[in-house]
Homo-oligomer: A and B are copies of this chain.
Amino acid sequence: MVRGRVTGRLWSTKRINTLPQGALLNVELQDGSSIIALDPLGCGEGEEVLITQGSVAAGYFQDIKAPIDALIIGSIDDHN
């Protein structure tokens, strides 16, 4: 997984119909690059999050074949 910080949100009206509901958040990773991750946890701007990538991100959605390759799986409390 990778760690990043939520920096914003984006909206897409023209989208494929298997894209799940949920916020699409812009997350800045530790190396300075950004990815867009689906957020099932209701995270806010500035929050530090844990992201999983690839097909396992889609596996979170049970009833649809979600075209999702990045998912926020936790909000980070603390680390040493």
User: Which residues of A are interface residues toward B (Cβ below 8 A)?
Assistant: 1-3, 8-16, 18-19, 24, 26, 30-31, 33-37, 40-41, 50, 52-60, 65-71, 73-80
Contacts and interface: CB of A to CB of B under 8 A. Distances in A.
A36 B53 CA distance: 12
A63 to B, nearest CB: 13
A66 B56 contact: yes
A9 to B, nearest CB: 6
A54 B12 CA distance: 21
Give the interface centre of A2, A10, A30, A68 by most chain B CB atoms within 10 Å: A10
B55 A55 contact: yes
Given A36-B50, A52-B67, A56-B65, 10 more contacts: A1-B24, A1-B35, A3-B10, A9-B80, A10-B76, A16-B40, A19-B73, A24-B50, A30-B34, A56-B66
